[in-house]
Every structure is written in structure tokens, then in C-alpha cells.
Structure 1
Amino acid sequence: ALQRANLIDPSSPNPSVEKLLHAFLPHKFVDHTHSTAILAIVDQDDSEALSKKVFGNKMGFVPYIMPGFDLAKAAADVFDADPTVEGLILDKHGIFTFGDDAKQAYDRMIHYVNLAEDFIASHGKPHIEKAALPARLAKPAEIAPMLRGAVAVARGEGRFDRMISDFRTSDAIVDFINSAKIADYAGRGVSTPDLSIRIKTGPMALPAPDADKIGDYKSLIRQHVEKFAKDYRAYFETNDALDDVSRTMLDQMPRLTLVPGLGMFGHGRTLKDAKIASDVGEMWIEAVRGAEAIGDFHPLSKADLFPLEYWSLEQAKLASNKPKLLTGQVVLVTGGAGAIGAATARLFADNGAHAVVVDLDAARATEAAKKAGNGSIGVGADITDPAQMRAAFDKAVAVYGGLDILVSNAGAAWEGRIGELDDATLRKSFELNFFAHQSAAQNAVRIMLEQGTGGVLLFNTSKQAINPGPKFGAYGMPKAATLFLSRQYAVDYGAHGIRSNAVNADRIRSGLLTDAMIASRSSARGVSEKEYMAGNLLGQEVTAEDVAQAFLHQALAERTTANVTTVDGGNIAAALR
């Protein structure tokens, strides 16, 4: 508060934590980076001597001091002792260069980073002893839900703060992570203290996943997560006891997981945060690889890291990311490009979820996902094809690490009196209006069980499941079966924290009720189109957005399952008794 009160413009963004260091130097232009090559040099026991060897007298060296006034004063003292230096190397931290204009400061930054890179390259690649890998590795999609469930923060009574997981791999990543010493490197900590707000005290390293023992890997993941959390609690309690400052411990879950043979997973409450964690992971790998090429990786001690991780100015960088109702959750919506599906995807995304919009029309699915925003994706799939349905769910796992909510919404209506309906039409309707719902639910439950954090199945069952209309038997019968399906899932999977609910909607402008149908039906009844659409107890038209609100309510109602919510403005004939 005091800092903001002294800003020239109190409404401006928070200044950098190194603002005083910039201010104490006499130069108008000051550049600062955490170059991985520089970090490889300063993350050594003999970092000062090594820095002198690489940069000579052109760069000043500042021993590690936590950012703030003391560091700014020390940096100014180093510069004052030799005003001819063109920059400063900050131990365990990074590099500053300065100049009379922006180009000079920038050119100096590039020059000294290049010197560091050339010095590391001259030593060749570090010799990294490889760990033994299983004959057959499990796939990332097999372990992602297990890992995502393990790093979810349990809040008690079946509630979790879930994470999004971003999988990242490349030859360079896998080559390094396959080191026999990867757990040792991970345990040493972060390559620069600023990374602590993104990956805490450092990565978590897992064993390589054996495809032939995948059933055991879930418990193995949880054992490693529990150890990481236990170590983090000890780190907090030990360092918190050293002063009288009142602090609240952050969650103890890892934000970066290294998996030999596969790659790494960045974890975060949003896809953006997860991707940043992965970016930081690549930076960490590059810094450690460079440090090992020229010596031994010895980053800042965790005792010195602690004050920075729990410094209010560092935490302020994340404070603006206030979680929404569905932050950290992933929803898959079938029929996602239609009126109800698109409205549902938008509403869930507005409330923090990442949406996987599935539709037969891939282009429309992508467009609906774009309109939903929040990193949502579109997937084209014929959901009556089990392989394509499976692929849609696999995409959710590949992009976000898992799934929390299914909105099984897709459907279509075929008309005809039931006694005159051919079998092919009836079977076609059952494929889309029942079996596709079952296929979607099976895929969702498969992922949810691996995560172990519960989940929600939501079905669009329609008024026809309760109150059949003339010539709509081909549509109503599979919808009635889907209503029963919803309740059966509630019965069979409630013990796993998986809830199952349905929405019974009617007379919604959509692909099922087109403008032409509205005109025809209103004319047949001798009423206006407006009167027809508002033909309910409330006398109001019901919209796709109203149905989306019902789905959202069911997703948020944590103690509600086997429920059917009617969204029709009031139709007693379709009301559940």
C-alpha cells in the first residue's frame, strides 16, 4: 500500500521488484534477463571466479542478495567501485546491462549472453548417464489423468481445486530427463529464484512408466506427490519458524513433473499457467544442462529461496488470477456447435472452465470454441462412431490432462408414427440419442476414475423423455432411455464422487426446432410464432442460454445427483411426478 501510494500514477501496474536497482543505477536504459546461459554460470559454487573468467572486467559481480533495497544498494556499490563496467552479473539470479540508449543496453545484453553461450558450447555436451527405461513405455495419455488427479488440491468432503496439465516433449527434453540423476537435479531446486512462483522449490521427478505395469503407476505417482508435499511442508515450517512474520502456507502440489522416456507436465490452475510452468521447465532444463557442462549445478539454497517465494511483491504477480467457479476444470460438450451446446460452452468458459466443443462439423466446432474463449478447443467427430468419440476424449486429455464435466447434449429428431416407422430410422435415432450418450459417459467415467477426483455427467434428455408428442416416438424413446441412463450412472458411480444429472428442456430454438418448424407449428395452432414459443405457464420464451444455466447449476450443485431439471417455462404434462 505504501509503495502504491508513492507512485506518480497510483493506477499504474505494480513496478518490478527490481525497480530500485534500476533506479539506483545512473543509466537511463537498463535491461535485465534470466538468460539460461548466464544462470548456468552463476549456479556454480565458484560462480564469481567463473564469471570473471568468462566476462573479464567488463561486468561487475554482485553476490546473491534477495531483490529489494539491499540488492539495489549492493549493485550500486559495485558499479560505483568501477563505473566502466557495462553490466552486472547477479549471483544465482541473472544479468543486467545498461547504456545511454536502448540499443546500447540491448546490444550489450546480446553480447554478454552470447559470450556465456559460447563458453558453455566450448565445453561440449555434459556426460549424462542414462537411466534404464522399461522395454515398453506407457503413453502420456495413459498417465495424464492419474497425474492430474494426484496434483489436485483436496479441500475435504470430496471437494478439489483441480489443475490443468500441459504435456511438453522434444528430443532435447527427453534426452535430459532420461538422466540417471534427474531426481537429484530436481531436488537441488530452481535455476533462478524468480521461478519459485511458477514451479515452487523445483520439479518433481517420477520413474519411467512401464506399460506392462501401468496398473501400479497410479499409486506410484501418488507416493511421489505425497513426498513432494511432505518435503514442501517441512521446507515451509523450517523457514517460517526463523522469524516472526505471519505467513500462510501455499498449496504443496508440484507445478512441474518430469517423466523419463516421455517428457514433462506443467501444472496450473489454468491452461495459461500450466503452459508457463512448462516453459519454465524448458528453461530449467537448459540452465541445468549448461551448468553440468561446465561444472556442477548448485542453485540458490532453499533457505534463501523461501523469503522470495513468500515475499508479498512476488505473490502479487499472481494475485490478479482470482479463481472463478470452474477454474481448473475441463468440460466436454457434444453437439457443441448447436444452439444449446454453444451457449453451454460459452457459459462454462465464462465461469473458468476450459471447453472441448465436439460437433460433427469440425469448422463450426472450432468457431464455437473460439467464441467460448478461455483456451477452449473445437473437435470434429461423428459421435455415433466409438473410435471418433474416443478420439475426442483423448484430445481433452492431450490438451488439458483430463476431464471433469461431460455435457452430453447432441441429438436429432426423426418423425413418424411409431407403428409405421421402419427399423433403420429407429435404430439410427437410438444410435445418436441413446448409444452416443452411453459412449460419451463411458469415456468420461474412464478418465474420471483414473483422476480419482469425482466428476459430473450431464445429459440433455428433452421433454420427450417425460411427455411424448405425436409422431416423435423415434426421438422420445431413446431420450427416455437416456434419462434412465443418467440415473443408472448416479447409482453406479456415486461412491466414486461422480454425479449424474439431466436437463429436461422443451421448445428451444435450435437445430431440432428450426424457424420453419416454428412457423408451421404456430400456424397449425392458429397462434403467432411469439405466442407459440411462449406457450408455457410463465408465458415466456425459453432460450438456449436458459438451458445452459441449468447445466451450470447442476455442475455446481456438489451434493446433487440423479436429478432432472425441467427448463420449459412450465409444462405440467412434462413435469416429473
Structure 2
Amino acid sequence: EELCKDIFGHKMGIVPYIMPGFGLAKRTLEVFEQDPDVDGLILLNHGIFTFADEAKTSYQYMIDAISMAEEKLATGKRHAFHSVSVTPRLKNVSSLAPIIRGVCVSQGERIGNGKTDLRNKLILESRTTDRILEFVNGKELERYSQAGVATPDHVIRTKNHPLILNLSTTTDPANYLEHVKKSVKVFQEKYDSYFYRQVKNKGLVKTKLDSIPRIIFVPGFGLFGLGLTRNDSVMAADIAESFINTVRGAESIGNYKSLNESDVFDVEYWSLEQAKLSSSDNQPLAGNVVAITGGGGTIGNAIADEFSKLGAEVAVLDLDFAGDEGSYFRLACDVTDPANVKQAFEKICKHFGGLDIVVSNAGTMYQGTMEDVSDETLRKSFEVNFFSHQTVMQNAVKIMKLQGVGGSLLLNVSKQAVNPGAEAGPYGIAKAATLALMRQYAIEVGPYGIRVNAVNPDRIQSGLLTKEMIRSRASARGVNASEYLTENILGREVTAQDVAMAFTHLALSQSTVANVATVDGGNIAAALR
């Protein structure tokens, strides 16, 4: 308050901190009435407001007030934080983020409205800039980072304190998992103590929110924002960066201070604040990250749309994409190039913090009789229709094991894997191998909580089954194109959305493993059982 008086003099009225509500409004009016000639009001720990009879004048008062504050800050220390040398051994965010994410969603608490493991997930947003590093590498990080939020409204997004994850004290990167677990556990214990202390002191009956951190500072690395959705995690990271700027300014001319925990608790557990978050996580796959290969095609687009409807964060991988950018995280990726696939999955981890569901959907049709097909054609088919699935699964499993909270691997196989068609051997044999791959992965990664299943679609108009291809396949079966598409028990054409819904069903089915869902309108010859 004294600092504000020193900076603004009599131009601004100063309102002491009061929790938002009628009391604050009443006190604000009282301060204004004491001196109606002020250009505006400073509501301590809330913000600054200017006013006038004309909007332009009010805006100019705001510019003048901010300029006065900036002039004061310019007189402060050039370097607000005395940095220490920090050299973390794990510099790759794609390796660190899944560990943090896995620990934060496996601590035995329900996050938000999460009632099942599928809905007990968080998204991570990572940030690293020179200003962030100056802050997190500060010698007194433990003091100024733990002082509390810059404004009480932030507490519902970030909690009052961030977690400091100092990995430089861990000499062996293999021990990072245990170090993260220990750090998060200590954070939770502190949060729980704060909650029970406040409800006891205030004589209240409240339901405790989860005690998982929403901001994590990592010396030598940067920061993470955590949230139930991608937008929430970005918001948390934005607030963290704003907090850094606020603390930096305060520390340059003095010491940063915040509210006491009692005032913070009142806002964090205020029903009107909680209402802002009440509808943010009601979808069954909220907080889940799904990656879809072949995501730029007809079936891939339909799969992305269905998962998005269920609240999942979606990354789509393909060689190229037609049309506008859309709302999904797009990655150009050649699934037959192992290095390219590895890089794409690293980008997914950097963007979302990890991975929960993979739909290995990419494929290409190769035709011909086996007695005439060239080795080159057969090898090309196996590269995209078998080996690409293996490469995708390998990368996905590594991430899911780092997280330690299970996952779902889904493969687009084909009816051809169990019911070969004339002149489709080069394609069908590779797909049959992929069906065997699915079953092998199921028994190998099942003990880690990773479920592996497949979908066998047939005759879906798409980039793979083009009109020309339909005519060719229809001719091989002795029917016309229309009959070919509806040649099933139901007598109806099967769509890409039908296939997409089969994938989402398997992703939601937590006790289903090594299953093959047929999406073909009914074809007894292709039925597995």
C-alpha cells in the first residue's frame, strides 16, 4: 500500500484487499467517495481500474498509471534473481513430461469429475525461455516461488503454490521416476495439511479438491502447466509466466508478497469460483491424448472427430493434409520411416505431455496375384501395412511405460486378414501379419495395463478404397460397384464414421483385450467367432 502511494500519489485511490463480492464493492465505493477526483482505484491483490466521463480519457488514465508503475520498476535491480548453475541430465522434454504426467495422474486421487482411470488424466504444457530459466535457476527460488499467487483468482487454475522439481540433485536419470514421485507426494501432503488446517480453523465442512500441482518449476529446464484439457494446461502455463513477470518486477524493487493462506482458501473453495470449472471435464475421454496415423484421410478424419467429441486431445499424423488446418495437432509423418515416427511421438509428448491412445490407421492397398506379384511390391506392402504398425507400437509403448498408467493401442487391420479376396494377397497377407502383431502385443504389454485391440473394416469409401479401386474389386468379385459396397448381411454401405465409432468403443472398453471388432455390415466369412 505504501509503495502504491509513493508511485501514484493522490491520483489513485487504494482499496485494501477484500474477497470478491458485495463487501468489496461496498468498500470500493467508500474509498471513491472519500476522493471522487481520483483517476482510478487500485484494488490490492486484484488489479487497477481507471474511469472518466469519456472512454478515451479513462483509457489515457490507464496508460498514465501503467507508465508510472513501469518508471518505478525501471529504477530497480537489472537482475532480480541471482542464478545458480544448474545442469539437468535429462534435457529432452519428451522423456521427462510422460514421467511427470504419469506420476500426477496415479496418486490415488480423482481429478475433477474423474470417476474412472480414463477420466483421471491431465495435459501438460511445457515452456522454456531465457526469462523462465532466470527465474527457475534463481538461488532463492524456494522463497519467492512459494510466496503465493499474484491474484486470488488464479488459485482455482494453479493452486496457491507451484511444485519445485529439482532434478539436478538426482545423479542417475534412471532415478527420475522415484524422485518425481517423492516430490509430488510431499507437495500433496503440504496441500492436504493446508486444507485440513483451514477447514478446522474456520469450522467449515468442505470437500477437498485434488492435491495435484498445476504448475511445476524445473531448475535448468523450465516450467510445466497442468490442466484437465489442453486449454487448461496452456492457461496454467500462461499464468505461471505472468507470475514470473510479477515476481521479477517486485523483486527488482523489494520483496514479492502475496495474500495469507486464509484469504487464498476462501477464494479457492468459494462456490462461485468453483462454478467456473464445473463443466470442464464431463466428457469420458477428457484429459486423454490420442494419436492417429493416416489421420489426413477419410477414415482418419472420422476417427479424429469421434475421439474429439468424447473430449480427447487429438494428434493426427500423415504424409500430407488436404484442406484447412482444423483444430487438431497435425504432424507430417512418414510411418515407414522409424526416425520420422520417433520424432513425431516426441513432438506429441512435448505438446501434450504424453500419450494414452494410439490408432495405427495408416495403410495402402496393393493388388495382384501371388504367383505374379514382384518382391518389390510385396515388400512395399509390408513396409506400410505391417512394419509401420510395429514402429508406431514400439514408440507408443515406450511412452506409456514411462507414464505407468496403462493405455490403449488400436490397429486398423482389415477383413482381408481373415477373409482373403481375389487378387488382394499383397495387401491381405501383410494385414494378416498385423493381426498377429496385435495379439502378440496384447500378451506382452497387457501386464502394464496397456490394452491392444483391432478393427476389421471392409469396403469403406476412402483414400485407400477409391472409386477406381472399388470398380477393380467389384470386377474381381463379379458384381457392380454399388452391389460391391452393399454386399453384406445388412445390405447397407458402411461408412468411415462406423469405423471410427468402433475405435472409440474399444478405447472406452477397459476390460477388452486382443479383440477384433468387425465393421463390415455383416460378413460371416470374415467373422472370427
Q: Shorter-normalised TM-score: what interval?
A: over 0.9
Equivalent residues of 1:343, 1:545 under 8 A apart? yes
Identify the residue that residue 104 of structure 2 maps to in structure 1.
151
Query: Residue 104 of structure 1: which of 48, 53, 57 is its match?
Result: 57
Q: Secondary structure at the match of 1:247?
A: coil
Q: Which amino acid is the alignment partner of residue 58 of structure 1?
A: K
Q: Secondary structure at the match of 1:565?
A: strand
User: Would you say 1:140 and 2:93 are equivalent positions?
Assistant: yes
Displacement of 1:258 in angstroms is 0.9
Identify the residue that residue 271 of structure 1 maps to in structure 2.
230
Identify the residue that residue 347 of structure 1 maps to in structure 2.
306
Equivalent residues of 2:170, 2:179 under 8 A apart? no
Deviation string, structure 1 residues 269-317 (Cα, Å, up to 9, x no partner): 1111111111101110011111111111111011110011111222222
Equivalent residues of 1:152, 1:160 under 8 A apart? no
Query: Following the alignment from structure 2 to structure 1, what is the Cα–Cα distance between the partners of residues 506 and 397?
Result: 17
Query: Please, what TM-score do these two structures have when normalized by structure 1?
Result: 0.87
Q: Which amino acid is the alignment partner of residue 56 of structure 1?
A: G
Q: Which amino acid is the alignment partner of residue 560 of structure 1?
A: T
User: Would you say 1:225 and 2:184 are equivalent positions?
Assistant: yes
User: Would you say 1:61 and 2:14 are equivalent positions?
Assistant: yes
Query: Following the alignment from structure 2 to structure 1, what is the Cα–Cα distance between the partners of residues 62 and 198?
Result: 35
Q: Which amino acid is the alignment partner of residue 342 of structure 2?
A: R
Q: Which moved more, 1:198-207 or 1:417-426?
A: 417-426
Q: Secondary structure at the match of 2:514?
A: coil
Query: Following the alignment from structure 1 to structure 2, what is the Cα–Cα distance between the partners of residues 316 and 115?
Result: 37
Equivalent residues of 2:228, 2:281 under 8 A apart? no
Query: Following the alignment from structure 1 to structure 2, what is the Cα–Cα distance between the partners of residues 183 and 454?
Result: 34
Equivalent residues of 2:98, 2:403 under 8 A apart? yes
Displacement of 1:519 in angstroms is 3.0
Query: Residue 289 of structure 2: which of 330, 334, 347 is its match?
Result: 330
Go from structure 1 to structure 2 and tell me whether the alpha carbon gap of 1:145 and 1:256 turns closer, same or farther (over 3 Å shift). same
Query: Following the alignment from structure 1 to structure 2, what is the Cα–Cα distance between the partners of residues 384 and 417?
Result: 24
1:563-574 superposed matches below 5 A: 563-574=515-526
Q: Secondary structure at the match of 1:317?
A: coil
Query: Following the alignment from structure 2 to structure 1, what is the Cα–Cα distance between the partners of residues 167 and 316?
Result: 33
Query: Following the alignment from structure 2 to structure 1, what is the Cα–Cα distance between the partners of residues 412 and 238?
Result: 39
Displacement of 1:152 in angstroms is 2.0
User: Would you say 1:302 and 2:261 are equivalent positions?
Assistant: yes
Q: Which amino acid is the alignment partner of residue 551 of structure 1?
A: F
Equivalent residues of 1:134, 1:210 under 8 A apart? no
Equivalent residues of 2:456, 2:518 under 8 A apart? yes
User: Would you say 1:575 and 2:519 are equivalent positions?
Assistant: no
Identify the residue that residue 121 of structure 2 maps to in structure 1.
162
Equivalent residues of 1:168, 1:263 under 8 A apart? yes
User: Would you say 1:89 and 2:45 are equivalent positions?
Assistant: no
Equivalent residues of 1:152, 1:163 under 8 A apart? yes
User: Would you say 1:125 and 2:84 are equivalent positions?
Assistant: no
Go from structure 1 to structure 2 and tell me whether the alpha carbon gap of 1:257 and 1:573 turns closer, same or farther (over 3 Å shift). same
User: Would you say 1:311 and 2:289 are equivalent positions?
Assistant: no
Identify the residue that residue 234 of structure 1 maps to in structure 2.
193
Q: Which amino acid is the alignment partner of residue 396 of structure 1?
A: I
Q: Which moved more, 1:243-252 or 1:256-265?
A: 243-252
List alignment gaps of at least 5 residues for structure 2. Answer: none
Query: Following the alignment from structure 2 to structure 1, what is the Cα–Cα distance between the partners of residues 120 and 436?
Result: 31
Displacement of 1:500 in angstroms is 0.3
Go from structure 1 to structure 2 and tell me whether the alpha carbon gap of 1:136 and 1:243 turns closer, same or farther (over 3 Å shift). closer
Go from structure 1 to structure 2 and tell me whether the alpha carbon gap of 1:212 and 1:228 turns closer, same or farther (over 3 Å shift). closer
Identify the residue that residue 22 of structure 1 maps to in structure 2.
none
Identify the residue that residue 200 of structure 1 maps to in structure 2.
159
Query: Following the alignment from structure 1 to structure 2, what is the Cα–Cα distance between the partners of residues 525 and 431?
Result: 27
Query: Following the alignment from structure 2 to structure 1, what is the Cα–Cα distance between the partners of residues 437 and 235?
Result: 40
List alignment gaps of at least 5 residues for structure 1. Answer: 1-47
Identify the residue that residue 430 of structure 1 maps to in structure 2.
382
Q: Secondary structure at the match of 1:166?
A: strand
Go from structure 1 to structure 2 and tell me whether the alpha carbon gap of 1:136 and 1:241 turns closer, same or farther (over 3 Å shift). closer
Equivalent residues of 1:138, 1:214 under 8 A apart? no
Deviation string, structure 1 residues 488-528 (Cα, Å, up to 9, x no partner): 11111111111000001111112232112323444565644
Identify the residue that residue 397 of structure 2 maps to in structure 1.
445
Displacement of 1:135 in angstroms is 6.8
Identify the residue that residue 4 of structure 2 maps to in structure 1.
51
1:380-419 superposed matches below 5 A: 380-419=332-371
Displacement of 1:139 in angstroms is 2.0
Displacement of 1:233 in angstroms is 1.3
Identify the residue that residue 532 of structure 1 maps to in structure 2.
484
Query: Following the alignment from structure 1 to structure 2, what is the Cα–Cα distance between the partners of residues 319 and 258?
Result: 27
Query: Following the alignment from structure 1 to structure 2, what is the Cα–Cα distance between the partners of residues 514 and 141?
Result: 37
Identify the residue that residue 30 of structure 1 maps to in structure 2.
none
Q: Which amino acid is the alignment partner of residue 225 of structure 1?
A: V
Go from structure 1 to structure 2 and tell me whether the alpha carbon gap of 1:137 and 1:466 turns closer, same or farther (over 3 Å shift). closer
Query: Following the alignment from structure 1 to structure 2, what is the Cα–Cα distance between the partners of residues 447 and 521?
Result: 39
Q: Which amino acid is the alignment partner of residue 470 of structure 2?
A: I
Query: Following the alignment from structure 1 to structure 2, what is the Cα–Cα distance between the partners of residues 209 and 328?
Result: 29
Query: Residue 455 of structure 1: which of 382, 386, 407 is its match?
Result: 407
Query: Following the alignment from structure 1 to structure 2, what is the Cα–Cα distance between the partners of residues 135 and 502?
Result: 40
Query: Following the alignment from structure 1 to structure 2, what is the Cα–Cα distance between the partners of residues 159 and 269?
Result: 12
Q: Which amino acid is the alignment partner of residue 572 of structure 1?
A: I
Equivalent residues of 1:326, 1:353 under 8 A apart? yes
Query: Following the alignment from structure 1 to structure 2, what is the Cα–Cα distance between the partners of residues 200 and 518?
Result: 57
Equivalent residues of 2:124, 2:224 under 8 A apart? yes
Displacement of 1:211 in angstroms is 9.5
Displacement of 1:213 in angstroms is 2.4
Query: Please, what TM-score do these two structures have when normalized by structure 2?
Result: 0.94
Displacement of 1:261 in angstroms is 1.5
Displacement of 1:531 in angstroms is 2.5
Query: Following the alignment from structure 1 to structure 2, what is the Cα–Cα distance between the partners of residues 458 and 76?
Result: 61
Query: Following the alignment from structure 1 to structure 2, what is the Cα–Cα distance between the partners of residues 519 and 480?
Result: 24
Q: Which moved more, 1:429-438 or 1:92-101?
A: 92-101
Equivalent residues of 1:138, 1:211 under 8 A apart? no
Q: Secondary structure at the match of 1:173?
A: helix
Query: Following the alignment from structure 1 to structure 2, what is the Cα–Cα distance between the partners of residues 445 and 160?
Result: 20
Query: Following the alignment from structure 2 to structure 1, what is the Cα–Cα distance between the partners of residues 192 and 99?
Result: 23
Displacement of 1:173 in angstroms is 1.1
Query: Following the alignment from structure 2 to structure 1, what is the Cα–Cα distance between the partners of residues 403 and 144?
Result: 28
Q: Secondary structure at the match of 1:379?
A: strand
Equivalent residues of 2:88, 2:220 under 8 A apart? no
Query: Following the alignment from structure 2 to structure 1, what is the Cα–Cα distance between the partners of residues 183 and 284?
Result: 29
Identify the residue that residue 239 of structure 2 maps to in structure 1.
280
1:482-521 superposed matches below 5 A: 482-521=434-473
Q: Which amino acid is the alignment partner of residue 458 of structure 1?
A: L
Query: Following the alignment from structure 2 to structure 1, what is the Cα–Cα distance between the partners of residues 40 and 251?
Result: 25
Q: Secondary structure at the match of 1:332?
A: strand
Identify the residue that residue 431 of structure 2 maps to in structure 1.
479
Go from structure 1 to structure 2 and tell me whether the alpha carbon gap of 1:293 and 1:212 turns closer, same or farther (over 3 Å shift). same
User: Would you say 1:257 and 2:216 are equivalent positions?
Assistant: yes
Deviation string, structure 1 residues 521-542 (Cα, Å, up to 9, x no partner): 4456564433221111111111
Q: Which amino acid is the alignment partner of residue 436 of structure 1?
A: S
Q: Secondary structure at the match of 1:184?
A: helix
